[in-house]
Amino acid sequence: MAKHINNPVVTIDGDDFTNSFRSCTINAEFDQVDVTGFGSSFSEMIPGIGTATIELEAFQNFDTNGLDQNLWPIFINKTTVEVTVKAQPGTISSTNPEYSLPAAKLTTYGPVAGAVGEASTMTLTFTNAGQLGLVRSFT
């Protein structure tokens, strides 16, 4: 049983940028809607509208066709792209699912960060911008 994640596959707009990232966090949650009626002793909460994001910590790269050249147009043009994260390489299956935001926008992009002697890293946040939200595929 795998207890750690060390070789996920990350694609942005179809391109495999796995080697550019060192961490990945998928967040999905539903707002809580209070539907408590008179006479209740406890709050009655039901799930409301959902939000979903994929956060990636990346090593910046200004090379030709590098990360910056690909991400800047997506960010500044507010382009809707698909972002996928698979737990490990290989065929998608029930034990190797792929999570994706089929329609996502890059909402956080800090192209320059770092200090002397440090790797230039940045956090990217892709936020759901479509009807499907976060999708789990296993076939």
Nearest approach, Cβ of residue 122 and other proteins (Å): 19
Nearest approach, Cβ of residue 82 and other proteins (Å): 7
Cβ distance to other proteins smaller for residue 40 or 65: 65
Question: Cα(101)–Cα(104) distance, rounded to whole angstroms?
Answer: 6
Closest listed residue to residue 20, CA positions, set 74, 69, 73, 56: 56
User: Could you tell me if 45 and 35 are in contact, meaning their C-beta atoms sit under 8 angstroms apart?
Assistant: yes
Cβ distance to other proteins smaller for residue 30 or 97: 97
Nearest approach, Cβ of residue 15 and other proteins (Å): 5
E strand segments, 3-120? 9-12, 15-16, 21-34, 45-59, 81-86, 98-108
Q: If DSSP codes are grouped into helix, strand and coil, which group holds residue 74?
A: helix
Nearest approach, Cβ of residue 16 and other proteins (Å): 4
Cβ distance to other proteins smaller for residue 81 or 106: 81
Cβ distance to other proteins smaller for residue 15 or 29: 15
